[in-house]
Amino acid sequence: MEEIFALSDAITVFKDGRYVCTFDDMPSVSHDALVQAMVGRNLGDIYGWKPRPYGEERLRLEKVKAPGVRTPVSLSVRSGEIVGLFGLVVPGAAN
pTM here?
0.47
For residue 11, what pLDDT is reported?
92
For residue 60, what pLDDT is reported?
95
- CA dist 52 → 21, 35, 79, 80, 95 (Å): 34, 27, 11, 9, 45
For residue 92, what pLDDT is reported?
64
Helices (H) and strands (E) in the chain, counts: 2, 4
Q: What is the mean pLDDT of each run of 10 residues along the chain (95 residues)?
A: 87 91 93 90 71 89 88 91 75 61
- Domain extents in the chain: 2-45
